Amino acid sequence: MPKQPTKKVLQELHLTMVRIRCFEDTAGRLMEEAKIPGALHLYVGEEAIASGVMQNLSNEDQITSTHRGHGHLVAKGGDFSKMYAELYGRSTGYCRGKGGSMHVSNMELGMLGANGIVGGGPPIAMGAAFANKFLKTKKVAVAFFGDGASNEGSFHEAVNMAALYKLPCIFVCENNGYGEYTPQAKHQTIVDVADRAGGYGIPGVVVDGMDVIAVYEAAREAIDRARKGAGPTLLECKTYRFYDHVGVRGMGMTYRTDEELEKWKKRDPIQSFEAELIKLGVMTQKQIDKVYSKVNDLVEGGVQFAEDSPFPEPSELLEDVYCVKGA
């Protein structure tokens, strides 16, 4: 049996989840109020995955994210001000306003980008892991992707190559049971995406994605394995998104039942973890409340920063297309 995470780790896991939840709740509201342009894919309900995995990574380690990428960047240490500014399309954003929600990124934090292309991340993470091995660093690269993305050819090619070269690469499938509005059973015959691991001769692990400790432990094992040079793991986390595919209420489509949603909401990764924390005596309700109020202050500050920030200048349009030597 693995040793119980320390109190510090438990508190950090909690903080990360709360940070994601609060960031996303406000982002969703702002989108539905049309203050944030474009489309947001919110991570609410899935916080345990990014939090549990990222707890094992340093800023040096890389991740590739998805269209549903805010949670990953928050968990990687993303600054709310720069994130909201990016969602607002302001020049102070992480991408100077050029990327927006679907491309928010920060190389200093090892976040190689949210990605608007389903399946876009795995080949890039595999490539980063290749560099890590080539350059003899001890870094690992983690590719997050959805159940839907596991049907893209890019996933297949990336996992095969990572396995072949024994790269320090972890493939984390966030299986929320749907690709957009299509349930898993209508896009693949298997129940566990992890079953695909066998086709590449790597371990496939299924874990409860609503249980942050379970994710943390499983990710630690996979990451340790990768760092030791033993190659990739396909780690599948079963989860659910509490909001719609896009935004909070989305387009009002009826592809999921209320019962199903309610059933999963009862397993809210944050609420259940908080109950556990209190039971274990790691945190009191008061301390928990304080976490929220601190985080909500950061949210408010971040939104304010974004709204106060300037839009990019027209001259910025043609910047950053190429790297100009000496510039």
Partner 1 sequence: MSEAQKENVEGRVLTYVDAITEGVREVLLEQSNSFVAGEDVGLAGGPFGQYSGLFAEFGEDRIIDTPISEKGIVGLGVGSSAAGCRPIIDVMFVDFMGECMDEIVNQMAKMRYMFGGGVTLPVTVLSMTGAGMSMAAQHSQSLEVWLAHLPGVKVVMPSTPYDAKGSIITAARDDNPVFVLLNKVSLGLKGEVPEGTYEVEIGTAEVVRQGTSFTIVAVSRMVHEALQAAEILSELGVDVEVIDVRSIQPFDTDTVVNSIKKTHHGLVVHEAVEFGGIGGEIVAQIQDQAFDYLDAPVGRIGAPFSPVPFSPVLEKIYVPDADLIVAKVKETLGLS
Name the site residues for a copy of itself (rule: CB under 8 A): 151-157, 160, 163-164, 186-190, 195-196, 198-202
Size of the site for Mg ion (CB under 5 A): 5
Say whether residue 151 binds partner 1 (CB under 8 A). yes
Query: Do 162 and 169 touch, CB atoms closer than 8 A?
Result: yes
Per-residue x/- mask for partner 1, residues 1 to 30, rule CB under 8 A? ------------------------------
Q: Find the helix or strand (DSSP H, E) in which 262 lies.
A: helix 258-265
**Euclidean distance between CA atoms 81 and 308, whole angstroms:** 10
Say whether residue 192 binds ligand TPP (CB under 6 A). no
Say whether residue 190 binds ligand TPP (CB under 6 A). no
- Which of ligand TPP, a copy of itself, partner 1, none sits in contact with 196, Cβ below 5 to 8 A by type? a copy of itself
Which letter, b or e, does each residue of 47-86 get, where b requires 16 or more Cβ atoms within 10 Å of its Cβ?
bbbbbbbbbbbeeebbbbbbbbbbbbbbbbbbbbbbbbbb
**Euclidean distance between CA atoms 177 and 191, whole angstroms:** 9
Say whether residue 195 binds partner 1 (CB under 8 A). no
Among 141, 149, 234, 283, binds ligand TPP (CB under 6 A): 149
Say whether residue 96 binds partner 1 (CB under 8 A). yes
- Which of Mg ion, ligand TPP, partner 1, none sits in contact with 316, Cβ below 5 to 8 A by type? partner 1
* Residues 6 or more apart in contact with residue 42 via CB below 8 angstroms: 24, 27, 28, 68, 70, 241, 243, 247, 248
- Which of ligand TPP, Mg ion, partner 1, none sits in contact with 68, Cβ below 5 to 8 A by type? ligand TPP
- Which of a copy of itself, partner 1, Mg ion, none sits in contact with 176, Cβ below 5 to 8 A by type? Mg ion
Say whether residue 178 binds ligand TPP (CB under 6 A). yes
One-character DSSP codes across 117-149: STT-HHHHHHHHHHHHHHTT----EEEEEETGG
- Which of partner 1, a copy of itself, ligand TPP, none sits in contact with 178, Cβ below 5 to 8 A by type? ligand TPP
Rounded to 5 degrees, what angle do the CA atoms 287, 288, 292 make? 115
* Cβ atoms < 10 Å from Cβ of 175: 25
Among 100, 179, 209, 247, binds ligand TPP (CB under 6 A): 179
Give backbone dihedrals phi and psi of 263, rounded to 5 degrees, phi first.
-55, -45
Q: Find the helix or strand (DSSP H, E) in which 171 lies.
A: strand 169-175
Residues in region 163-182 near Mg ion by CB under 5 A: 176, 178
Residue 206's nearest CA partner among 215, 94, 198, 109 is 215
Q: Pick between residue 203 and residue 250 the one whose CB is nearest to a copy of itself.
A: 203
Residues in region 297-316 near partner 1 by CB under 8 A: 311-312, 314, 316
Query: Do 69 and 115 touch, CB atoms closer than 8 A?
Result: yes
Query: Do 90 and 97 touch, CB atoms closer than 8 A?
Result: yes
Closest approach of partner 1 to the CB of residue 141, in Å: 7
Say whether residue 115 binds partner 1 (CB under 8 A). yes
Say whether residue 148 binds partner 1 (CB under 8 A). yes
For residue 230, give the amino acid letter.
A
Residues in region 211-250 near ligand TPP by CB under 6 A: 245
Q: Where on the chain is the footprint of ligand TPP (CB under 6 A)?
A: 66-68, 116-119, 146-149, 174, 176, 178-180, 245
Q: Where on the chain is the footprint of Mg ion (CB under 5 A)?
A: 146-148, 176, 178
